[in-house]
Amino acid sequence: PQGSEEAKAFVNAFLKRSMPKMKDEAIQDILTRKAVVLEHYSKKKKKQKRKKTKGFTAKQRREMRLFEIEPEQQRYTIFLPLHELWKQYIRDLCHGLKPDAQPHMVQGKLLKADLHGAIVTVTKSKCPSYVGITGIILQEFKHVFKIITKEDKLKVVPKLNNVFSLEIDGFISYIYGSKFQLRASERSAKKFKLKGTIDL
């Protein structure tokens, strides 16, 4: 607006829109001091609480039999393709397992690798009945391996006091179960000492 009266009317109308909660007297009082602080009212958005997805408890998993392998599925030949996949996984992990590969590098990779599908043999044990058991690892828990043998028998072998060997492309690695009592998911962050021996 060009005229003073028009300008005054414009400012009054503008202030009423900008400060709807203030009375006319208060607006005029602000104008006499020639200082106007415009207020901004924003609607506060209500934060929606995220629902945490609760997993099953150990008891519920047992009741639902999530980790049990049905008897008709306990056949060695069924899991041979899993072993082939595991071998390819290890070759990729170790960049091909070439003849000039450094043994300690391969050993370090195997110790942190996922062993589901690996063929292992119990080479030493405090319990003589475990020695010689060979098969494909179907499940790994913190303290035990579940192994399916060529005779289609599912064996539960404890890690404690047992030494396991696994072979891939001519490279043989030994696993000392007493120092291997971790879940598969926890091993990737674990530092293993490659030197030294362990007496059973």
Structural domain boundaries in the chain:
8-39, 70-189
Per-residue pLDDT 10s for the chain (200 aa) are 466 777 778 777 877 777 777 777 777 776 676 555 555 556 666 677 766 667 778 788 778 777 788 888 889 999 999 999 999 998 888 877 776 677 777 777 888 888 899 999 999 999 999 999 999 999 888 899 999 999 999 999 999 999 999 888 888 888 888 878 887 777 767 666 655 555 55
**What single-letter DSSP state applies at residue 33?**
T
- SS3 category, 124: strand
For domain 70-189, give the CATH number. Answer: 2.30.30.210
Structure tokens given for 35: 């200082």
pTM recorded for the entire structure: 0.64
Amino acid at 79: F
